[in-house]
Amino acid sequence: MSGDRAPRAGSLSVFVLVFGLCLAVLALLAAATAEASWAVAERQAQTAEATYANEAAGQEGLAGLETVAAPLAALGAGEDEVLAALERWCAEQPEKNADGTAFSWARDGQALALSWSQPEGRRLDALVALDEGGRLAVRSWRATTVIPSQEPEHLWSGQ
């Protein structure tokens, strides 16, 4: 071992510093990617939950409307009479359930436009009318997502 060939102090530090920086970047990228994957999966789970919460509320609404319409149809009540009874039923429903589902409705000609929505923005719009026998008929059943225009959607803010 020749003393003249001894490495300069600090050269190893530079090498380790670069190596450490590369490892730190690698670890941060791995952590950020994993966290983003989790955020996407959680978002997907929330959307599915909200979609089916609306679906459940809508189906319960249909059951409630049918409970009102079926006896009247059996008695031979007219369309306007049944629709008026359905409107009264809708007016009695709370605007917001305990689970956060909001309900709104409006008369749309000879039909009722019903809407259920979740705080996350998932919404279900249904149009129900009466068929020739006076029974409830679903004319449309549409699930949508409302994105608030003021607040841009951030999939994952990095926190």
Residues found near other proteins in the complex (CB under 8 A)? 1-10, 12-13, 16, 19-20, 23-24, 26-28, 30-31, 33-35, 37-38, 40-42, 44-45, 48-49, 52-53, 55-56, 59-60, 62-63, 66-67, 69-71, 135-136
Of the pair 148, 158, the CB lying nearest other proteins is at 158
CA separation, residue 22 to residues 17, 26, 27, 66, 149 (Å): 9, 6, 9, 66, 40
Distance of alpha carbon 75 from the chain centroid? 40
Contacts of 131 (CB under 8 A, 6+ apart): 137
Q: How far is the CB of 154 from other proteins (least distance, A)?
A: 18
Q: How far is the CB of 39 from other proteins (least distance, A)?
A: 8
Q: How far is the CB of 110 from other proteins (least distance, A)?
A: 19
Of the pair 8, 154, the CB lying nearest other proteins is at 8
Report which secondary-structure segment, H or E, holds 11: helix 11-74
Of the pair 30, 106, the CB lying nearest other proteins is at 30
The Cα–Cα gap between 66 and 82 comes to: 10
Of the pair 76, 148, the CB lying nearest other proteins is at 76
Q: How far is the CB of 149 from other proteins (least distance, A)?
A: 27
Contacts of 106 (CB under 8 A, 6+ apart): 112, 113
Q: How far is the CB of 16 from other proteins (least distance, A)?
A: 5
Of the pair 71, 119, the CB lying nearest other proteins is at 71
- Joined tokens for residue 58: 């809508």
Per DSSP, what are the bridge partners of residue 143?
124
